[in-house]
């Protein structure tokens, strides 16, 4: 495991944990993944002590997930999984973007908040929520109660293979987003949830009261808008070819959330530096297969023969 030096503070991430079964011309490979899990491991690799609250089964897949989290120093508080652990079959479209088919466990995922989970949330400096079932009112009610008073970073991350009710998802998402310190959205979120462009979605979220909105647009870079102003950054040019974009969004969220652990920047220059660092981290993550967050420094270390997990 390779982590940066901790700036202090702690984080909790709430959402999904699963096995990604990747099928392409190279064959079939399995990776431990899930957006929330990737964010949790990413935060830990950036030096933030992190707890993941997610549904994980008592099965072989669940054992792999638990082992992976333990290897990366992430504490897991697992909700029971009545249908076993979640799994996604991932194939590549013609333009290289991933396409997902989810099993029943993933489609019917649920999160419960034990006393340990509530204590972890209460002690966290930032609580990130990603790929959460916002279209299930009972799940939203439980989440809202569990994170009352917490500083929130939210990525709606709707997956069409999991989404059962778009309008309900938007209602649940916006209920929590209105009180968030940070909301990350991408062009896909705008298309799937709002039938609109990313700039319109960014303005809508700011109008709801979101403290800062991070809008990512793939090859067009990203914009981060807050009360301090709006800053933008292009995708970062790093050595090596882009291998896999699947973890870019999760890495971006993790990097910005890590920068908020000790408090939000007061000036636009601080937000700009935070966004530029996040884009560097996302670009480094894309230089290897899978969703594991990487930094430019870790890539340089690997080139020198220093290998992390």
> What would the pLDDT profile of 187-206 be if each residue is shown by its tens digit?
999 999 998 889 999 999 99
pLDDT at 309: 32
294 to each of 39, 215, 224, 262, 278, how far by Cα in Å? Answer: 12, 21, 21, 22, 11
pLDDT exceeds cutoff 80 at 221: yes
Q: Which of residues 92 and 179 earns the better pLDDT score? A: 179
Q: How confident is the model at residue 243 (pLDDT cuts 50, 70, 90)?
A: confident
Please list, in sequence order, all residues whose beta carbon lies within 8 angstroms of the beta carbon of residue 197, skipping any fewer than 6 positions away: 190
pLDDT at 10: 97
pLDDT exceeds cutoff 60 at 73: yes
Percent of the chain with pLDDT over 70: 93
pLDDT exceeds cutoff 60 at 305: no
> What would the pLDDT profile of 261-280 be if each residue is shown by its tens digit?
999 999 999 999 999 999 99
pLDDT at 97: 66
pLDDT at 307: 38
Distance CA 119, CA 75 (A): 13
The DSSP code sequence of 219-266 is GG-EEEEETTEEEEEPPP--SS-----TTHHHHHHHHHHHHHTT---S
Across residues 94-103, what is the average pLDDT? 76
pLDDT at 196: 82
> What would the pLDDT profile of 159-194 be if each residue is shown by its tens digit?
888 999 999 999 999 999 999 999 999 999 999 999
Distance CA 200, CA 215 (A): 11
Q: Order the strands of the 98-102 sheet from edge to edge.
A: 27-33, 18-24, 86-92, 98-102
pLDDT exceeds cutoff 80 at 306: no
Nearest Cα residue to 110 out of 89, 88, 141: 141
Distance CA 65, CA 50 (A): 15
Q: How confident is the model at residue 4 (pLDDT cuts 50, 70, 90)?
A: low
Tokens read off for 270: 């601080």
DSSP helix/strand/coil, 101: strand
> What would the pLDDT profile of 99-142 be if each residue is shown by its tens digit?
889 999 999 999 999 999 999 999 999 999 999 999 999 999 99
The DSSP code sequence of 2-49 is --PPP-S--EEEEE--EEEEEEETTEEEEEEE-HHHHHHHHHHHTT--
Tokens read off for 139: 């799940």
187-198 b/e (C-beta count within 10 Å ≥ 16 → b): ebbbebbeeeeb
Mean pLDDT of the chain, nearest integer: 92
């Amino acid at each position: 495991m390779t982590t940066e030096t901790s700036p202090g503070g702690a984080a909790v991430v709430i959402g999904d944990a699963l096995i990604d079964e990747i099928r392409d011309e190279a064959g079939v490979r399995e990776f431990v993944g899930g957006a929330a899990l990737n964010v949790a491991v990413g935060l830990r690799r950036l030096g933030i002590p992190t707890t993941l609250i997610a549904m994980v089964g008592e099965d072989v897949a669940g054992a792999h997930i638990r082992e992976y989290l333990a290897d990366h120093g992430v504490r897991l508080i697992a909700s029971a999984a009545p249908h076993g652990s979640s799994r996604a079959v991932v194939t590549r479209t013609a333009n290289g973007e991933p396409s997902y088919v989810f099993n029943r466990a993933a489609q019917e995922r649920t999160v419960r908040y034990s006393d340990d989970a509530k204590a972890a949330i209460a002690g966290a400096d930032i609580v990130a929520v990603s790929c959460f079932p916002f279209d299930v009112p009972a799940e939203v009610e439980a989440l809202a109660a569990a994170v009352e008073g917490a500083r929130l970073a939210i990525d709606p991350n709707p997956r069409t293979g999991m989404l059962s009710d778009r309008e309900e998802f938007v209602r649940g998402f916006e209920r929590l987003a209105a009180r968030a310190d940070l909301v990350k959205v991408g062009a896909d979120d705008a298309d799937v949830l709002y039938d609109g462009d990313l700039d319109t979605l960014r303005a809508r979220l700011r109008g709801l009261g979101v403290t800062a909105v991070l809008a990512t647009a793939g090859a067009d870079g990203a914009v981060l808008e807050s009360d301090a102003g709006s800053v933008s950054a292009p995708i970062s040019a790093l050595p090596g070819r882009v291998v896999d974009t699947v973890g870019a969004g999760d890495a971006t969220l993790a990097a910005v959330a890590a920068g908020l652990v000790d408090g939000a920047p007061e000036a636009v220059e601080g937000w700009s530096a935070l966004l530029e660092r996040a884009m560097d981290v996302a670009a480094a993550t894309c230089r290897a297969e899978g969703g594991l967050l990487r930094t430019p420094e870790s890539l340089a270390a690997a080139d020198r023969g220093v290998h992390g997990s």
